[in-house]
């Protein structure tokens, strides 16, 4: 499901990006395609929209998920920073080793 949503949103964003500066005819054509993609996305999400209030998760669940997402994003940023540092050190090491040929 996440891949489907991401794909549709990415397509819509891409279409919006290429619309700038186009003729009104091409803009209309792209908007028609975007409308179809938006309908497809709406259809994919429909089962989640039709839930009754009693079938929705409790607000506490949303808060726990939001907090966990924040924790994961913090951890991701930390690990990404470490990866960049490691790559930078590796590139520096390779550059230093490359200049010592006899």
Domain shared by 63 and 17, yes or no: no
Instruction: Give the three-class secondary structure for 56.
Output: coil
Name the one residue in this structure whose structure tokens are 């186009």.
22
Name the more confident of 96 and 76. Answer: 76
Give the tens place of pLDDT for each residue, 32-90. 999 998 998 888 888 877 666 666 778 899 999 999 999 999 999 999 999 999 999 98
Domain of residue 78: give its range.
58-102
pLDDT tops 70 at residue 93:
yes
Structure tokens at 54: 């009693």
Confidence of residue 102 (pLDDT cuts 50, 70, 90): very low
Give the count of domains, the chain.
2
Domain shared by 36 and 70, yes or no: no
The pTM for the full model equals 0.45
Give the torsion through C-alpha atoms of 68, 46, 57, 12, to 10 deg: 20
Domain shared by 28 and 62, yes or no: no
Name the one residue in this structure whose structure tokens are 């951890």.
75
Domain shared by 35 and 49, yes or no: yes
Domain shared by 22 and 45, yes or no: yes
Domain shared by 2 and 52, yes or no: yes
Domain shared by 47 and 89, yes or no: no
- Residue 27 near residue 15 (C-beta atoms within 8 A): no
Domain shared by 27 and 70, yes or no: no
The span from the CA of 82 to the CA of 69, in Å, is 20
> Which phi-psi region, left, alpha or beta, contains residue 21 (left: φ > 0; alpha: ψ -120 to 50)?
left
Predicted confidence at residue 18, as pLDDT, reads 87
């Amino acid at each position: 499901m996440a891949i489907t949503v991401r794909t549709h949103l990415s397509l819509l964003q891409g279409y919006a990006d290429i619309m700038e500066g186009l003729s009104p005819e091409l803009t209309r054509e792209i908007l028609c395609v975007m409308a179809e993609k938006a309908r497809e996305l709406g259809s994919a999400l429909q089962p989640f929209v039709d839930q009754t209030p009693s079938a929705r998760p409790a607000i506490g669940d949303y808060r726990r998920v939001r907090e966990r997402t924040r924790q994961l994003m913090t951890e991701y940023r930390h690990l990404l920073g470490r990866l960049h540092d490691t790559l930078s050190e590796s590139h520096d090491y390779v550059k230093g080793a490359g200049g010592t040929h006899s």
